[in-house]
Amino acid sequence: MHAEAQATAVKGARYSRPLVTSNRIGRRSGLGLLTLLALLMLLTLSSIADQARGYSPGCGDVPIVYGIPPWGFHTGPPIGETGSFARGHGEINLEANTVSGIVCQEDRSRNRPTRAITMTVEHHLVYHSHFAVMWGFPGNIMKIIVRVQASNDPKCAVGTVGRATLFASYNGVRSDSVQFFFPAACNDQDHLYHGSQVDNQVPPL
């Protein structure tokens, strides 16, 4: 019986050590996973920062998207050397109430340098409707939040948050509009574009 007890004790000793090692491996794996997640988060934040630094003020890098994009608009060029214009495009999911995209605006003047901003669209879609009425005509409307990512307008700093309302008339009528709303410090960028020169695509198309 004494020999059997020793054998049992030896078996117990043989199995107890790997269990301790397994716990250590588990802890190391957990730490490794946390380290990996932290590294991925840093890389993501770095990528976002690099992307934000990559924007330039104005519409030079924002093309006019022709055809029927998920959403998009252009207001036509300014008349002559003065005036303002804007354009933008992006993705939208009406079921999830999300939106994304890029928008630009330039304000040209003979007496001062062009003031230009480039904006990204915040993901929450503020409002949309297929049964809106503006300018006396029915149409689609969407309201979005924009954030300035690049600016050479000294009164409109990077990070400024504004709003935009996009309206697209239908039933063969061309009375589209785009309107920007900014806080007081940036209100030189408040513009309303309306008329036959404005081409707006607002879903549902």
pLDDT digits (tens, 9 = 90+) for 74-128: 998 776 678 899 999 999 999 999 999 999 999 988 888 889 999 999 999 999 9
Residues 6+ apart with CB under 8 A from 160: 147, 148, 151, 182, 183, 185, 186
Strands 192-194 and 115-121, bridge-based pairing: unpaired
Q: What is the rounded distance in angstroms from the CA atom of residue 114 to the CA atom of residue 117?
A: 10
pLDDT in tens, 127-178: 999 999 999 999 999 999 999 999 999 999 999 999 999 999 999 999 999 9
